[in-house]
Amino acid sequence: MQNEALNGGGTLFVEKHPDLKVRVVHGNTLTAAVILNEIPKDVEEVFLTGATSKLGRAIALYLCRRRVRVLMLTLSTERFQKIQREAPAVCQNYLVQVTKYQAAQNCKTWIVGKWITPRQQSWAPSGTHFHQFVVPPILAFRRDCTYGDLAAMRLPDDVEGLGSCEYTMERGVVHACHAGGVVHQLEGWTHHEVGAIDVDRIDIVWKAALKHGLRPVSSM
Residue 35 in any domain: the answer is: no
pLDDT tens-place values along the chain, 220 residues long: 445 555 555 566 566 666 666 777 788 999 999 999 999 999 999 999 999 999 999 999 999 999 999 999 999 999 999 999 999 999 999 999 999 999 999 999 999 999 999 999 999 999 999 999 998 899 999 999 999 989 999 998 888 777 667 777 788 899 999 999 999 989 988 887 888 999 999 999 999 999 999 999 865 5
With H, G, I as helix, E, B as strand and everything else as coil, classify residue 130.
strand
Per residue in 4-26, is it b (16+ CB within 10 Å) or e — as a string?
eeebebbbbebeeeeeeeebbbb
End-of-domain residue from the set 130, 151, 172: 151
| Number of domain units in the chain | 2
Full residue range of the structural domain in which residue 64 is found: 40-151
Spatial separation of the C-alpha atoms in residues 60 and 203, rounded to whole Å:
15
Q: Are residues 49 and 145 in the same domain?
A: yes
pTM, 2 dp:
0.89
DSSP state for residue 96 in the 8-state scheme: E
Spatial separation of the C-alpha atoms in residues 110 and 85, rounded to whole Å:
23
Residue 33 in any domain: the answer is: no
Domain harbouring 81, CATH code: 3.40.50.720
